[in-house]
């Protein structure tokens, strides 16, 4: 089946630094990728939707200058948390939707990145 690789799986950084999270579709072309965030003991929250070659669409309340999303190719999207602060500590997950015919309506998920900002 389709595989989405997300890394790093865990990152610890100092406050004020920037962190990049990568999401790769390994065996299909991901025309659309989604980025989610999960706070402890809460459900997933959609942050933004990115389409290859165009600017990401951010959900209300998500700072686009804070969370930079790049979807420069059909197999890679990146989320950069800029000038990270402790309140950015969270679990970030990507998902990808591809053009694999019958399965293209489904999402495939990365395994997530646990970000801890000290």
Q: Out of 43, 60, 65, 101, which residue is the one contacting another protein (CB under 8 A)?
A: 43
State how far the alpha carbon of 97 is from the alpha carbons of 43, 82, 103, 118, in Å: 21, 26, 9, 33
State how far the alpha carbon of 102 is from the alpha carbons of 21, 76, 88, 98, in Å: 29, 22, 37, 10
In the complex with another protein, the residue whose CB is nearer, 82 or 100, is: 100
Residue 28 binds another protein, judged by CB under 8 A: no
Q: Which residues have CB under 8 Å from 61's CB, separation 6+?
A: none
In the complex with another protein, the residue whose CB is nearer, 32 or 89, is: 32
Paired tokens of 70: 């790049």
As a whole number of Å, the end-to-end CA separation of the chain is 37
Site string for another protein, 75-104 (x = CB under 8 A): ----------------x-x-x-x-------
In the complex with another protein, the residue whose CB is nearer, 68 or 107, is: 107
The site for another protein (CB under 8 A) is made up of: 1, 9, 32, 34, 36, 38, 41-46, 49, 91, 93, 95, 97, 105-109, 111-112, 114
């Amino acid at each position: 089946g389709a595989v989405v690789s997300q890394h790093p799986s865990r990152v610890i950084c100092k406050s004020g630094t920037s962190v990049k999270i990568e999401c790769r579709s390994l065996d299909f072309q991901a025309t659309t990728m989604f980025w989610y965030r999960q706070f402890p003991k809460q459900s997933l929250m959609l942050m933004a939707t990115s389409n290859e070659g165009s600017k990401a669409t951010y959900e209300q309340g998500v700072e686009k200058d804070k969370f930079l999303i790049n979807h420069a190719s059909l197999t890679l999207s990146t989320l950069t948390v800029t000038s990270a602060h402790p309140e950015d500590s969270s679990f970030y997950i990507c998902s990808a939707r591809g053009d694999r015919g019958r399965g293209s309506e489904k999402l495939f998920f990365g395994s997530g990145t646990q970000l801890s900002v000290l």
